[in-house]
Structure 1
Amino acid sequence: MPVDWAGYGYAALVASGGVIGYVKAGSVPSLAAGLLFGGLAGVGAYQISEDPKNVWVSLATSGTLAAVMGKRFYSSRKFMPPGLICVASLLMAAKIGYGMLEKPQES
């Protein structure tokens, strides 16, 4: 079974964004949300690595972040960090959706 490296990278991006938000602005909600959603994305990546059909945690996490950060980007017009996380979340959701549409490979 292939490891979901993109999922783990996405999880690291989200978690590190929360840490950076805390360090730069002292934002405890940013730290909490970054670690929570980064952790959920990591769990989702692990689940996909174990069973490629088990996409629901990862899909829910990336979809939620795409919506929330997309709204924040639309309101503020600042790319960093909401635009970046929105784009990364949309790409992650598209990757998961594409994986769901692929036909299973026969051994």
Structure 2
Amino acid sequence: MSLETIAYVLATLTAGGGITGYARTGSIPSIAAGLTVGSLYGLGGYRIANRQPYGVELALLASVVLAGSSIPRAIKTAKPLPIGLSLLATYGLFNFGMAYANRTR
């Protein structure tokens, strides 16, 4: 799977998760976080697809933000949603981290 496809899938999943969290609980922070992280992934994917600078870095930033917020919550609560978000973040960290490390200078 290409990096831009991974970014677009993660954008959809995180934004959809924020919207779902808002729909279920009425949580404004949930929708704000989901849409913000989803937008970072989407913008990163767009920039990767168009060979513009900082696409991989934006997607990596989104993964770091998602991991920073979801992994501690997954450890603390052991609920399925934070665990799923942690897995998505880890997947993004691996893919975009490898792409960042292997970029040509």
For normalisation by structure 2, the TM-score amounts to: 0.85
State the identity as a percent: 30
2:94 counterpart SS class: helix
The corresponding residue for 2:70 is 69
Q: Bigger CA drift: 93-102 or 7-16?
A: 93-102
Q: How does 1:1-107 map to 2 (within 5 A)?
A: 4-51=4-51, 54=54, 55-79=56-80, 81-102=81-102
Structure 2 gap segments, 5+ residues each: none
* Structure 1 residue 15, shift from structure 2 partner: 0.1
Letter in 2 for 1:37: V
Letter in 2 for 1:95: N
Distance, in Å, in 1 between the alignment partners of 2:52 and 2:88 is 20
Letter in 1 for 2:73: R
* Structure 1 residue 25, shift from structure 2 partner: 1.1
Q: In terms of Rg, which structure is larger?
A: 1
Distance, in Å, in 1 between the alignment partners of 2:103 and 2:11 is 26
Letter in 1 for 2:96: I
1:27-47 Cα deviation digits (max 9, x unpaired): 111011111111111111111
Distance, in Å, in 1 between the alignment partners of 2:3 and 2:72 is 31
